[in-house]
Structure 1
Amino acid sequence: HGTLDKADSTAREQIAKSADLFAALRLPEGSFRADAGTDVVVDILFFRKRKAGNPEGGVAWLDLEEVWPATQDEGAIRVNRWFARHPDFVLGAHALSRGIYGPDKTYTCLPRPAGDLNEALTATISLLPQSLYDG
């Protein structure tokens, strides 16, 4: 699990002291296989640096929440609350798989069976509020 899904929220709390999570996109495993030879799940995070005197934004993203994986026969998976509450920003399916570091199953995001990741990414980015780009 990466920064957003770690059970220990220390890193998220440190970030939240000076910035607000505006949005996040989760790309499925294999998204960078052709370019970088890696099969890791990738999160793209959009933060807005908080100006002095501005109140802290929403902090729901500091916590985890249970979701059900693609195959219902698995138990619930704890992922960042932002992804649990914004499933349209997860460009794949939550799942558990055996990792390379032992027999235990770990979180992964499986690619959607049919569909172009570039098209899905473009469509999802269009869902971001226009104010994200305002200085």
Structure 2
Amino acid sequence: MVSRREARLALRQQLREGGLESPDFEAACLLEHVLGASCRLMTRQQLEEPLTGEQTAALHALTRRRLAGEPLQYLLGEWEFYGLPFRVGPGVLIPRQDTETLVECALRAAEGISAPKILDLCAGSGCIGIALA
């Protein structure tokens, strides 16, 4: 059996060898998704606990999909935008941090307007409109 720490290190190496840009970040995200808990908040003892067979299988499946090019956000099923969690998957544009600039510009443009009306039509996850609201 492999520990959570060992699994993260091995996953990071696989992702690095697969040419991914942020292997450490992605390894942490995938492992946390499988564990349902933040690795950053685990004690050393908790990090040394072994993965279950089910967790190992899930992690391997997610790793294969990620290395095949499936977006991390789709694998996790959720991504944060403007401090809010949004469900994402195939067919939905992934909320991106640089799009938060658009929200900030729209908020500045709406300053001083008592009841601004803002439309966010055909916008995938709806993250821009929801963040503006």
Place the TM-score, normalised by the shorter chain, in its bin.
Answer: under 0.3
Q: Which has the higher contact order (CA 8 A, sep 6+)?
A: 1
Q: What TM-score results when the alignment is normalised by the length of structure 2?
A: 0.25
More helix by share: 2
Q: Larger radius of gyration, structure 1 or 2?
A: 2
